[in-house]
Amino acid sequence: MLDTELDLSTNLFSHIDFAGGAVAAVSGGSDSTALLLLLKHHLDRTAPATRLLAVTIDHGLRSGSAAEAQTVAKLCATLGISHRILTWSGPKPSTGLPAAAREARYRLLAEAAQAEGIGMILTGHTADDQAETVLMRHARDEGQGHAEMAGRGLAGMAPATLYDWREWIVRPLLGLRRAALRDVLRRQNVGWADDPTNIDAAFERPRVRAALACESVEHVEGMLMLAGQAALERRQLGASAADLIDRFASQPAIGLIRLDPCLLSPGDERAAVYALRILLATTGGIAFLPDQARSEALFGRLRAGFLCATLSRTVVDSRRSGIFLRREARGLPAAAAGSILWDGRRRITLNDSSSALLIASLGTAAAKRLATGEGKAPPSLMRAALAAEPALWQAGECLGLPGYGLKSAMVEVRPVVTPFGRFLPSFDLEPARAVAGLIGAAPVPPLPFSGHSAG
């Protein structure tokens, strides 16, 4: 391999910790194929014993997709790389197909990584993909009148994203243009497949890609610099919000968060509102943060005096003893069996071969019988919060609430940091860690980067 590839692979991968192995997502397109070649070269030189698995997802959406997957398999065999083809089976949605395909792709990649005991997935997203993503988000937010671009969406894709709180998706090629990667492939006499859907104007990303192709190199590079600045601001905002959560938030009972009124003091209002939004979404079990404008209005009302309001399925009850957040009683899930993600807030593992046990909310009557402790929060609020928590039931009888008298080995309940539970960009690591510590969620797996930098 030429010295240029040697230097390139060193710059791309030297900061990544491969001790736990890696899954490379390889579609057969130019970007992912170049990723595979450069990654293989780097590992052969620096860590030849590293477990490397290439995975190709066949979405089954085009007649040629199976043949393209087989081409990748042949390339991997030539390179001595383990390879697996996974197929997205089942019915495909008539609307929202790109989003559904993306979700299926990450799910299958994560399943492959878990099967091998690998905690990191590498993808071939490039600077071109980053520019497209930023433009798409900018257009959506402009159309919806959002004023949040400078803080979040304009940052684009993160260098790493935690999927389902378990596997890190790492994007080492975000600083490279697609043309440079194709030059690598040409020098190595390696071909690639061009997906026709990448130029199908029926989908948003191909339309944005075509528009970007008409822009100058300086324009695209300027946009990427803005994205980098927005990413820095987003990390700084998250760090400030995390500090506020650490200082001013506590959990007097499961499902009940208390905010010290000092959170409302003049100072970094932007970070305080951001912290409030994350806590509202977490308490209510909502995957998306509540609207910025409504959250700012709520923050202003809290400053003005005591109130009781609801936002993102979360009751906000401001009293002299503090500001309390709890899940509202409406819309709780029906009784369910098995291991589930309950109400978006609790990951439940139920070990019951008889299928006689059910998970359902504790309810007001059972909550009134619980000893809630004294002095931590008003007892009425603690019982209201516990009433919305998942309890173990059998034949219509409540067996108890985990952590409050129920010590059954048959059920395990772990809180979930809902807005970051599915996808946690490395930009948002600090507030996610703060909330996880607050509610007793599983710790965030460490970043697979040297020094654990968020990038």
* pLDDT tens readout for residues 363-390: 999 898 876 666 779 999 999 999 999 9
pLDDT for position 139: 62
Looking at the structure, do residues 272 and 192 belong to the same domain, yes or no?
no
Question: Rounded to two decimals, what is the model's pTM?
Answer: 0.90
Residue at 301 is within a domain: yes
Per residue in 304-333, pLDDT (tens digit) is 988 999 999 999 999 999 999 999 999 999
Inside any domain, residue 421: no
Residue with more model confidence, 372 or 225 = 225
The pLDDT assigned to 389 comes to 96
pLDDT of residue 129: 87
Mean pLDDT of 41-56: 96
* pLDDT at residue 189 tops 60: yes
pLDDT value of position 92:
82
Determine the structural domain holding residue 406 and report its residue range. Answer: 340-415
- Is the four-CA dihedral 126, 131, 134, 140 of positive or negative sign? negative
| Choice between 371 and 257, residue whose per-residue pLDDT is larger | 257
Is the pLDDT reported for residue 445 higher than 70?
Answer: yes
User: Do 273 and 193 share a domain, yes or no?
Assistant: no
Judged against a pLDDT cut of 60, whether residue 455 lies above it is answered with no
pLDDT attached to residue 252: 94
- State the pLDDT at residue 373: 65
Asked if 295 and 434 sit in the same domain, the reply is yes
- Look at residue 217 and give its three-state secondary structure: helix
Rounded mean pLDDT, 431-445: 97
Q: Same structural domain for residues 354 and 323?
A: no
pLDDT at 403: 72
Residues 8 and 89 in one domain: yes
Report the pLDDT value the prediction gives residue 143, as an integer from 0 to 100: 46
Residues 410 and 432 in one domain: no
**Residue 132 placed within a domain:** no
What does the block give as tokens for 66? Answer: 């199976």
Only one residue has tokens 């100058």, namely: 216
Beta pairing partners, 357: 394
Same domain, 307 and 372: no
Q: What percentage of the chain exceeds 90 in pLDDT?
A: 66
- The residue behind tokens 């009293």 is 319
Give the mean pLDDT of the chain.
88
DSSP string covering 145-199: T---TTTTGGG-S-SEEEETTTEEEE-TTTTS-HHHHHHHHHHTT------GGGG
For 141-155, the pLDDT digits (tens) are 654 444 454 446 788
Helix, coil or strand: residue 400: strand
Q: Are 115 and 32 within one domain?
A: yes
Indicate which CATH number applies to the domain containing 204: 3.40.50.620
Considering the domain architecture, whether residues 322 and 370 belong to the same structural domain is answered as no
Per DSSP bridges, beta strands 397-402 and 308-311 are unpaired
Average pLDDT (23-45) is 96
Name the band, by pLDDT with cuts 50, 70 and 90, for residue 158.
Answer: very high
- pLDDT-based confidence at 215, cuts 50/70/90? low
Render pLDDT for 401-420 as a digit per residue (tens, 0 to 9).
Answer: 887 766 667 788 999 999 99
Does the residue 158 lie in any domain? no
Long-range (24+ apart) CB contacts under 8 A made by 263-270 are 263/323, 264/299, 264/302, 264/303, 264/323, 268/240, 268/244, 269/299, 270/151, 270/237, 270/240
More confident residue, 8 or 430: 430
User: In the prediction, which pLDDT does 287 show?
Assistant: 96
For residues 15 and 124, what is the distance between their CA atoms, to the nearest angstrom? Answer: 16
**Is the domain of 22 the same as that of 44?**
yes
Share of residues in the chain with pLDDT > 70 (%): 87
Ranking 6-10, 88-92, 136-140 by mean pLDDT, the lowest is 136-140
- Claim to verify: residue 264 and residue 409 sit in the same structural domain: no
How confident is the model at residue 450, as a pLDDT?
78
* Domain membership flag for residue 279: yes
Mean pLDDT calculated for residue range 31-54:
96
In the predicted structure, residue 211 carries a pLDDT above the cut 70: no
For range 161-173, the mean pLDDT: 97
Domain count, the chain: 3
Res. 206: pLDDT tops 50 = yes
Quick check: 140 pLDDT over 70? no
Tell me, yes or no, whether 136 lies in a domain: no
The mean pLDDT value for 254-259 works out to 96
Q: Is the pLDDT of residue 453 over 90?
A: no
The answer to whether position 229 is within a domain reads: no
144: in domain: no
User: Does residue 361 share a domain with residue 311?
Assistant: no
